[in-house]
Amino acid sequence: MENRWIAYLIPPFIITLLLVAGSQFVFIQNSFYQDLGLGRTGTDLTLTNYLKFFSDSFYLKTFWITIKVSAIAALLTLFLGFPIAYVVARMKSKLAMFLLAGIVVSTFVTIVIKVFGLIIIFSADGLINKTLLNLGLIERAYSIIGTQEGVVIGLMHFTIGFSVLLLYSVVVTVPPSLEYAAQIHGASRFRVYQRVIIPLCAPGFVVGGLMIFNMCMGAFTSAALLGGGRILTLPVLVQRTVMMEVKYSTAASIAFVLLVSVILINLFSLIAIRRLRSARLVVA
Amino acid sequence: MSGVTLDKIVKRYGPTVAVDDISLNIKEGEFLTLLGPSGCGKTTTLRLISGFIQPTSGAIHFGAKDVTGIAPQHRQIGMVFQDYALFPHLTVSENISFGLVERKYEKQAIKERVDELLALIKLENAAERYPSEISGGQAQRVAVARAVAHPPSVLLMDEPLGALDLKLRETMQIELRRIQQELGITAVYVTHDQSEAMNMSDRIVVMNSGVIEQIGSPTDIYTNPQSVFVANFIGQVNILNCHVVKNDRETTELNYQDNKILTRSSNKLKTRTKIYLAIRPEDIKITSKPPTKSQNSLKGIVSEALFSGNVMKISVTIDGGDIMKVECPPKANSFVSGDQVHVNWMPEDCKILLG
- Whether B150 and A177 lie within 8 Å, measured CB to CB: no
* Cβ-defined contact of B89 to A178 (cutoff 8 Å): no
Assess A176–B contact: CB distance below 8 Å, yes or no.
no
Alpha-carbon distance A120 to A113, whole Å? Answer: 11
**Residues in chain B within 8 Å Cβ distance of A187:** 73, 98, 102
| Nearest-CA distance A177 → chain B (Å) | 6
What percent of chain B lies above the pLDDT cut of 70? 99
pLDDT score recorded for residue A2: 61
Residue B39 has pLDDT above 70, yes or no: yes
Tell me, yes or no, if A283 comes closer than 8 A to chain B by beta carbon.
Answer: yes
Q: Are A182 and B78 a contacting pair at CB < 8 A? A: no
A178 touches chain B (CB under 8 A): yes
pTM of the full predicted structure? 0.77
pLDDT in tens, B181-202: 888 899 999 999 888 999 999 9
E-assigned strand segments in B259-311 = 259-264, 274-279, 285-287, 296-307
B160 touches chain A (CB under 8 A): no
> For residue A184, which residues of chain B lie inside 8 Å, CB to CB?
50-52, 72-73, 75, 77-79
- Could you tell me if B213 and B341 are in contact, meaning their C-beta atoms sit under 8 angstroms apart? no
Q: How many other C-beta atoms can be found within 10 angstroms of the C-beta atom of residue A87? A: 14
d(CA A62, CA A236): 10
* Residues of chain A with C-beta less than 8 angstroms from the C-beta of B147: 185
Q: Can you tell me whether residue B28 is helix, strand or coil?
A: coil
| Full set of structural domains in chain A with CATH | 49-278 (1.10.3720.10)
Closest residue in B to A181 (Cα–Cα): B85
**Residues forming beta bridges with residue B157, ordered by sequence position:** B80, B189
B102 three-state secondary structure: helix
Give chain B positions within 8 Å (CB) of A283.
88-89
Q: Cβ neighbours of residue B139 under 8 Å, at least 6 residues apart?
A: B84, B86, B131
Residue of B nearest to A173 (CA): B88
Per-residue pLDDT of chain A (284 residues; tens, 9 = 90+): 567 788 888 889 999 888 988 888 888 888 888 877 777 777 777 888 888 888 888 889 989 999 999 999 999 999 999 999 999 999 888 888 899 899 888 888 888 888 888 888 888 778 888 888 888 877 777 788 888 888 898 899 889 999 999 999 999 999 999 999 999 998 888 999 999 999 898 888 888 899 999 999 988 888 888 888 888 888 998 888 888 888 888 888 898 999 999 999 999 988 887 777 665 544 44
With contacts defined as CB-CB under 8 Å, which chain A residues touch B89?
Answer: 199-200, 283
A182 to chain B, any CB pair closer than 8 A? The answer is yes
Question: Could you say which of A177, A187, A196 has the minimum Cβ distance to residue B81?
Answer: A177
Whether the pLDDT of residue B102 is over 50: the answer is yes
C-beta atoms of B83 and A177 within 8 A: yes
Best of B80, B102, B128, B142 to disrupt the A interface (most A CBs within 10 Å) is B102
pLDDT given at position A121: 85
User: Residue B218 has what pLDDT?
Assistant: 93
Q: Which domains does chain B have, with CATH numbers?
A: 4-232 (3.40.50.300), 236-353 (2.40.50.100)
* Nearest-by-CA chain B residue for A277: B89
Q: Residue B300 half-sphere exposure, CB side, CA atoms within 13 Å?
A: 27
**B201: contact with A, CB 8 A cutoff:** no
Residues of chain B above pLDDT 90, percent: 37
CA angle B157, B163, B165 (to 5 degrees): 120
Chain centre distance of CA A21: 22
Shortest alpha-carbon distance between residue A99 and chain B (Å): 24
C-alpha to C-alpha distance for A212 and B336, rounded to whole angstroms: 74
Partner A contacted by B131 (CB < 8 A): no
Contacts of B162 (CB under 8 A, 6+ apart): B82, B191
Mean pLDDT rounded to a whole number for chain B: 88
For residue B86, the chain A residues in CB contact (below 8 A) are 181
Q: What is the pLDDT of residue B289?
A: 84
Q: How confident is the model at residue B332 (pLDDT cuts 50, 70, 90)?
A: low
Q: Pick the closest to residue A71 from A224, A274, A272, A261 (CA basis).
A: A261
Q: Which of B24-33, B225-234, B248-257 has the lowest mean pLDDT?
A: B248-257
Q: Is the pLDDT of residue B269 over 80?
A: no
Contact B118, B93 (CB under 8 A): yes
Q: To the nearest whole angstrom, how far is the Cα of B130 from the nearest Cα of chain A?
A: 11
Does B87 contact A185 at a Cβ distance shorter than 8 Å? no
Q: What is the mean pLDDT of residues B312-325?
A: 88
Q: Do A188 and B50 touch (CB under 8 A)?
A: no
Question: Does residue B171 surpass a pLDDT of 80?
Answer: yes
The answer to whether the Cβ–Cβ distance between B81 and A191 falls below 8 Å is: no
List the single residue in B with minimal CA-CA distance to A183. Answer: B73
By C-alpha distance, the chain B residue nearest A186 is: B73
The angle at the Cα of A47, spanning A46 to A49, to the nearest 5 degrees, equals 110
Chain B interface disruption, residue of A173, A183, A184, A197, most B CBs within 10 A: A184
ipTM passes above 0.85: no
